[in-house]
Chains A and B, each alone.
Chain A
Amino acid sequence: MKRLKLLKISGTAAALAGLALTAAGVTVQYLRSQNGYTGSVISAEEEFETPRELVVITGSMPITVEYGDVSAVKVAYTGSLPLIFSEDKGTLRITQNDTFTIDLFSPRSREAGVTVTLPHKAYERISLSSSGGSITSRSLNAGDLEFSTKGGDMTLYGIDEHAYVRTESGSIHAEFSSYSADMTINAGSGNVELIMSPESSIYLEFFTEDGTFTSHRTDASDESRYGDSVMMYNGAKNRLNVNTTSGDLDLYIC
């Protein structure tokens, strides 16, 4: 009984002291915010000369790359640490500082991400890679397009040129306007969703260990097949390889 009482008393005392400390912390925070403190999340914008090649590598930050009406490359980002930029022989390289970081009581850090706005031109190479962040690209035009993530999802609009897409477990959503190149998509356990126009001419090979291929066509009823599949559509001019381990492939031609 004595021990229980002691536990009760010491527990209550600790909880009360904790409440007092928390209240003091809230007061300090209120005073600091009155003085204009907005937190340690960084939001910045940088500008660079138009490169021939663009390489973006992040750990957890989502990446968005798109064309815009700009004369120079604009990079806007929100994150815990400043991004590292390097320009060398026509290559703009953007990397996330990989120092170990932790977010505490920071709703703003959920907005973390990097958005690159490129001037309209055909680039030699664009390579976007993220470990856990998602990748979004809009109508990029480059000799070599590379997208890779480990667990991050990919949303790719208008990647009609040659592209290499790879993820370990993230899902891929790609929309093509006029598919006219050979492409390989490696998706591991992630699901793949491809949206193509009826004018596309494709020879699709789907290799999987445990995935299902489903085609949704406006001119035919939906068709679903388990395991490896081959589909020819509209003359089969351009090759499209999709490889997954357990991820499913959904092809929409509409």
Chain B
Amino acid sequence: MTSKHGYRLRTAAARIGGAVLFLLTVCYIFAALGILSLGLIAFPSVLLGRLGLLTVTSDLAPAALMLISSGILLVGAGMSLCIIPICSALINRLKSISRTVGILRKKASNETTEAS
């Protein structure tokens, strides 16, 4: 394999890696917001149920329901708090990937010019 092909392969790998990272971050954001919404519905409902203002039907025992709903709320809140650092890390990573891709393309084009 010539080094030109090697550069192209590395460029493609860097691009695919960037796209995968972007997709994973989007999935993470949706999961975090989904879990947070579930917690925001479940936890106050359980509290209102405990106060007798709402009838909560569940297959879970009341104590387990309280623990699980508060746990889900905390997990959702924690994951949501991490969204901004994760996005910032992603942006940095994408920037470095695009820089790498730029360097690799330049090297590949230099080699093409030299060869011709």
Residues of A within 8 A of B (CB): 4-5, 7-8, 10-26, 28-29, 32-33, 37-41, 80-81, 99-109
Q: Given the complex, which residues of B lie within 8 Å of A40, measured CB to CB?
A: 56-59
B58 and A101 contact, CB distance less than 8 A: no
Q: A12 CA to B42 CA in the complex, in Å?
A: 21
Q: If A4-B84, A102-B45 touch, does A24 touch B56 (CB 8 Å cutoff)? A: no
B55 and A18 contact, CB distance less than 8 A: no
B78 and A12 contact, CB distance less than 8 A: yes
Q: A8 CA to B57 CA in the complex, in Å?
A: 36
Residues of B within 8 A of A (CB): 42, 45-46, 49, 54-61, 63-82, 84-85, 88
B81 and A10 contact, CB distance less than 8 A: yes
Q: Given the complex, which residues of A lie within 8 Å of B54, measured CB to CB?
A: 100-102
B82 and A20 contact, CB distance less than 8 A: no
Q: What is the minimal beta-carbon distance from A109 to any residue of chain B, in angstroms?
A: 5
Q: Given the complex, which residues of B lie within 8 Å of A29, measured CB to CB?
A: 60-61, 64, 68
Q: A222 CA to B71 CA in the complex, in Å?
A: 59
A105 and B65 contact, CB distance less than 8 A: yes
Is the contact region of chain A dominated by helix, strand, or loop, or is it mixed?
helix
Q: If A4-B85, A7-B84, A11-B81 touch, does A105 touch B60 (CB 8 Å cutoff)? A: yes
Q: If A7-B85, A10-B81 touch, does A21 touch B67 (CB 8 Å cutoff)? A: yes
Q: A81 CA to B56 CA in the complex, in Å?
A: 10
Of the candidates A13, A18, A81, the one having the most CB atoms from chain B within 10 angstroms of its own CB is A18
A14 and B77 contact, CB distance less than 8 A: yes
Instruction: List 13 extra interface pairs beyond A18-B75, A24-B67, A80-B55, CB under 8 A.
Output: A8-B82, A14-B74, A15-B74, A18-B76, A25-B66, A26-B68, A28-B63, A101-B57, A102-B57, A104-B42, A104-B46, A104-B60, A107-B59
A19 and B57 contact, CB distance less than 8 A: no
A104 and B75 contact, CB distance less than 8 A: no
Q: If A22-B71, A102-B55 touch, does A13 touch B78 (CB 8 Å cutoff)? A: yes
The 5 closest A-B pairs by CB, nearest first: A18-B74, A15-B78, A11-B81, A25-B67, A14-B78
Q: If A41-B59, A105-B60 touch, does A22 touch B75 (CB 8 Å cutoff)? A: yes
